[in-house]
A and B are shown apart, each in its own frame.
Chain A
Amino acid sequence: AQSVAQPEDQVNVAEGNPLTVKCTYSVSGNPYLFWYVQYPNRGLQFLLKYITGDNLVKGSYGFEAEFNKSQTSFHLKKPSALVSDSALYFCAVRDDTGGFKTIFGAGTRLFVKA
């Protein structure tokens, strides 16, 4: 069965510092991994995805994520945080067994302090 874990409910970082939001996953087949962001009172927005190939994936707003197969992780990173990055971040997974179902993590709230 598919599952996603985001071990931190909240991450606090100062503006200008690097940020990391952690995600680990479990799937039966090959994983397809996604990050989404939710700003207050808005729907989720797609940030980036890993399908295959290069383990470092670049996405919107300067975010990137590193796929690590041996650690079954897909951590979201940004070299320099902005106050406007404060939001709720969700990691999501699908696999290639054809279930047409996306499993989301519980979400990590990111606070960036000026």
Chain B
Amino acid sequence: KAGVTQTPRYLIKTRGQQVTLSCSPISGHRSVSWYQQTPGQGLQFLFEYFSETQRNKGNFPGRFSGRQFSNSRSEMNVSTLELGDSALYLCASSLDGGSIDEQYFGPGTRLTVT
């Protein structure tokens, strides 16, 4: 089975711009979660989607949004980029996102905001 894929792998944006990141989960996985990883804050949960519905959301401003499509692929969008949004954004998929499911992570998208 192919693993979780994320595109693009690297992005450089300017403050004030917006960005869209994409994630394709492992075939058959219906839950997709997004995380922001920074050296200072570690891994911070952004949101989780299952069957095109957001089931949970972390403590991030409304500039961070996401969606999931009927084929379980997911996108996250960050509008009005700030310097502090520079981070590695990780996507993870699991079968149905239940509490006992382990997650499978993609390689991440490295976003740099200048």
Chain A interface residues (CB < 8 Å from chain B): 32, 34, 36, 41-46, 49, 51, 90, 94-96, 98-107
Contact = CB atoms under 8 A, between A and B. Distances in A.
Count chain A CB atoms within 10 A of each CB in B48, B102, B108 and give the residue with the most.
Answer: B102
Contacts of A44: 90, 92, 103, 105
Interface of B: 4, 31, 33, 35, 42-43, 45, 48, 50, 55-56, 58, 90, 92, 97-100, 102-108
A49 B100 contact: yes
B90 A94 contact: no
Contacts of A95: 99
A69 B58 CA distance: 27
Given A43-B4, A99-B56, A100-B56, A105 B103 contact: no
Count chain A CB atoms within 10 A of each CB in B4, B90, B100 and give the residue with the most.
Answer: B100
Contacts of B56: 99-101
B75 to A, nearest CB: 18
B92 to A, nearest CB: 8
A100 B50 contact: yes
